[in-house]
Amino acid sequence: MIQKKELPPCPVATIIGLIGNKWKLFIIRDLLTGSKRFGELRKGIPEISQKVLTQNLRAMEEDGIITRKVYPEVPPRVEYELSDLGDTLRPIFDLMRVWGRNYQKLVKE
Amino acid sequence: MIQKKELPPCPVATIIGLIGNKWKLFIIRDLLTGSKRFGELRKGIPEISQKVLTQNLRAMEEDGIITRKVYPEVPPRVEYELSDLGDTLRPIFDLMRVWGRNYQKLVKE
DNA sequence: CTGTATCCTTTACGATACTG
DNA sequence: CAGTATCGTAAAGGATACAG
């Protein structure tokens, strides 16, 4: 029992455990267009608080979905970016985007 | 202002609003293999309580993702099923399943 | 069996103050 | 700027009892 985490046997449960909450989904959405600073992420997800954004970024870093790069400047700059692994989520989000557009058309009718 | 719902302009935000929580994702996962009774869904998602399962099923029915069919028998039987719209989520879950399997392989190494 | 209603607990979240 | 720490609130969720 020296595993990093208890992994559910079901692959869908696995991905839900990693990105199955709306904040992480929003964060990934925004990072798919390139690396972002902390403040940029806040702007892109206005409803999220600083604390919750930090929490989710830390968890995603821990899980290997994103990387965090600190530039030792004054004032400090921190860039968040999808890891190679995180970037493999792109096709899923492409499908979600298409689906979302379709749904929007449906309800507008 | 006679819309069914306020729709976020971003398609990804739209789909997150509809299925962006783990319970709904689990429910869809289970319904992708065919219609299920209430009790079957509970068995498939052991961590969910009756109350929360009901809440999410009602919301998903409202959003047109699933259908609910009551058979007037004794004891009563209720079948939940993906709607045509809900079934169009299938490709997304196919990708998620593949991704989850890959992640499982990664962390086992 | 498939719920609803109620109460209670736990968790998520927000607001504020403060720091390197 | 990008956090951390603390505290208070709101929302989510669980347990139980009960009904059609």
**Ranges of each domain in chain B:** 4-108
CA of A75 to C1' of C19 (A): 13
What integer pLDDT is reported at residue A73 of this predicted model? 87
Give the nearest nucleotide to A74, CA to C1': D1
Kindly determine whether residue B92 and residue A97, on different chains, have CB atoms separated by under 8 Å.
Answer: no
Asked if residue A54 keeps its beta carbon closer than 7 A to nucleic acid strand C, the reply is no
A20 touches strand C (CB under 7 A): no
| Chain A from 31 to 70: CB within 8 A of any B CB | 64
Percentage of chain A exceeding pLDDT 70: 93
Provide the pLDDT for residue A108: 82
The 10s digit of each residue's pLDDT in B53-88 is: 999 999 999 999 999 999 988 889 999 999 999 999
HSE (side-chain half, CA atoms, 13 Å) at B97: 12
Average pLDDT over residues B27-50: 97
Mean pLDDT across chain B: 93
The answer to whether the C-beta of A52 is closer than 7 A to strand C is yes
Q: Which residues of B touch A25 (CB under 8 A)?
A: 12, 16, 20
Q: Cβ separation of A10 and B104 shorter than 8 Å? A: no
Which of B14, B25, B89 is nearest residue A20 as measured by Cβ atoms?
Answer: B25
Cβ–Cβ gap A101/B11 under 8 Å: yes
The pLDDT of residue A74 is 85
CB–CB contact B96 A29 (8 Å): no
Q: Residue B64: how many CB atoms within 10 A of its CB? A: 16
User: Half-sphere exposure of residue B22, counting CA atoms within 13 Å on the CB side?
Assistant: 15
B68 torsion bin: left (phi>0), alpha (psi -120 to 50), beta (else): beta
A91 inside 8 A of chain B by CB:
yes
Flag whether pLDDT at A89 surpasses 80: yes
Rg (CA), chain A: 16
**B67 forms bridges with which residues in the sheet?**
B81
- Given this model, what pLDDT does residue B1 score? 40
Q: Inform me whether the C-beta atom of residue B15 falls under 8 Å from chain A C-beta atoms.
A: yes
pLDDT of residue B73: 87
pLDDT over threshold 90, residue A24:
yes
CB-CB under 8 Å, B16 with A10? no
What's the pTM?
Answer: 0.93
Which residues 57-86 of B interface with strand D at a CB distance below 7 A?
A: 75-76
CATH tag, A4-108: 1.10.10.10
- Which segments of B1-109 does DSSP mark as H helices, in order? 11-19, 22-31, 38-44, 50-62, 84-87, 90-108
Reported as a pLDDT band with limits 50, 70 and 90, residue A109 is confident
- Share of residues in chain A with pLDDT > 90 (%): 85
Which residues are paired to B21 by β-bridges? Answer: A21
Inter-residue contact A53 to A36 (CB < 8 Å): no
Q: What pLDDT is attached to residue A1? A: 41
Phi, psi of A4 (to 5 degrees): -60, -40
On the question of a cis peptide bond just before residue A76, with omega within 30 degrees of 0, the verdict is no
CB A15 within 8 A of CB B103: yes
Nearest to residue A18, comparing CAs of A83, A68, A70?
A83
